[in-house]
């Protein structure tokens, strides 16, 4: 069996990512010779639209797999031999395995959100969920929520066209489920009727301080999941706890996207608790 792995992370601005450290530390713990390097397209002077070339270079140079991130998760799909069903449905790939059968795409953002959610909020009522933020991360989260059994999902974004487009795509992919879009100013009417809310905008990061919506809408019966993970304890989560709500921080998604990618790459089951403890020390 294979014990040596070479893996890359392709995207722009990927150098500060915590994902390489997570993979390499877990690889070492499992006795593997596991090297994971960021491949920063900006630093390399390579335009993201050359992702197809970058994949073929990586394969030729002996990489076993790569993670792919902003801004290549969608365009990479045109350069693969096959895409696993969940990723194909979502229309985005963040993990590519270079196999004897070709280059195969997967999406562990969406599976990672689902695994982290199931672990961290196992009793969450999914009857009526609001998603705030319809960008790339919000799309992966929305698909995960629907796979987990959300009965009614409402997508909200400051950009109402973006919310509408995502809701429309989701409804096409999941024709039997109830999926709506709503304008941002409808949140005061929506949240009192909801069982949970997932926040997927950059608000709460140091460059985007604050809370994306009115914290007085938080209450004990409304679980709150944030996907921001820098910081882990966001103002939104602090306000949700103060309101007595069950909460889930963005570290769960960040760790489980790596757990799921590591499992795909090595065929081994990584120790998710160990990876979580390590991530929370980074």
Catalytic residue IDs: 73
**Closest by Cα among 129, 120, 114 to 195:** 129
Smallest gap, in angstroms, from Cβ of residue 266 to ligand NAD? 20
Site for ligand NAD in 226-245 (CB under 6 A): 227-229
> Given the rule CB under 6 A, which of 123-131, 152-160, 189-197, 234-242 is the region that contacts ligand NAD?
152-160
> Given the rule CB under 6 A, which of 19-27, 59-67, 251-259, 261-269 is the region that contacts ligand NAD?
251-259
Task: Please identify which residue in 14, 51, 131, 137 interacts with ligand NAD, judged by CB under 6 A.
Answer: 137
- Residue 97 CB neighbours (<10 A): 20
Q: What is the 3-state secondary structure of 265-277?
A: HHCCCCCHHHHHH
- Residue 121 CB neighbours (<10 A): 18
Token pair 């974004």 is at which residue? 157
Binding-site residue total for ligand NAD (CB under 6 A)? 25
Query: Is 234 within 8 Å of 226 (Cβ atoms)?
Result: yes
Task: Please identify which residue in 72, 254, 261, 275 interacts with ligand NAD, judged by CB under 6 A.
Answer: 254
In the bound state, the residue with its beta carbon closest to ligand NAD is: 135
Helices and strands, counts by H and E, the chain: 11, 12
Task: Decide if residue 164 touches ligand NAD (CB under 6 A).
Answer: no
Token pair 């795909």 is at which residue? 264
Task: Decide if residue 120 touches ligand NAD (CB under 6 A).
Answer: no
Query: Is 54 within 8 Å of 74 (Cβ atoms)?
Result: no
> Given the rule CB under 6 A, which of 6-14, 53-61, 72-80, 250-258 is the region that contacts ligand NAD?
250-258
Token pair 């992919």 is at which residue? 173
Chain residues in the site for ligand NAD (CB under 6 A): 132-138, 157-159, 162, 184, 200-203, 205, 212, 227-229, 250, 253-254, 257
């Amino acid at each position: 069996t294979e014990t040596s792995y070479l893996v890359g992370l392709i995207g722009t601005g990927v150098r500060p990512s915590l994902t390489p450290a997570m993979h390499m530390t877990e690889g070492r713990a499992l006795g593997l010779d596991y090297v994971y390097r960021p491949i920063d397209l900006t630093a390399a002077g390579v335009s993201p639209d050359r992702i197809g070339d970058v994949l073929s270079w990586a394969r030729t140079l002996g990489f076993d797999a790569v993670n792919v991130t902003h801004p290549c998760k969608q365009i990479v799909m045109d350069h693969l031999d096959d895409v696993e069903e969940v990723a194909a449905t979502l229309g985005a790939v963040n993990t590519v395995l270079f196999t004897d059968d070709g280059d195969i795409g997967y999406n562990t953002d969406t599976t990672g959100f689902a695994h982290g959610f199931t672990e961290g909020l196992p009793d969450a009522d999914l009857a009526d969920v609001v998603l705030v933020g319809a960008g790339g991360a919000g799309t992966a989260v929305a698909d995960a929520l629907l796979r987990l059994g959300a009965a009614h999902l409402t997508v909200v974004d400051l950009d109402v066209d973006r919310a509408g487009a995502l809701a429309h795509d989701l409804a096409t992919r999941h024709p039997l489920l109830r999926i709506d879009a709503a304008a941002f100013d409808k949140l005061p009417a929506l949240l009192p009727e909801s069982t949970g809310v997932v926040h997927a905008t950059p608000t709460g990061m140091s460059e985007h301080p604050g809370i994306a919506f009115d914290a007085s809408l938080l209450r004990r019966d409304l679980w709150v999941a944030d996907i921001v993970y820098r910081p882990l304890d966001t103002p939104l989560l602090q306000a949700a706890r103060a309101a007595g709500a069950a909460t889930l921080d963005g570290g769960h998604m960040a760790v489980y996207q790596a757990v799921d990618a590591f499992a795909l790459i090595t065929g081994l089951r990584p120790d998710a608790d160990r990876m979580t403890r390590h991530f929370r020390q980074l």
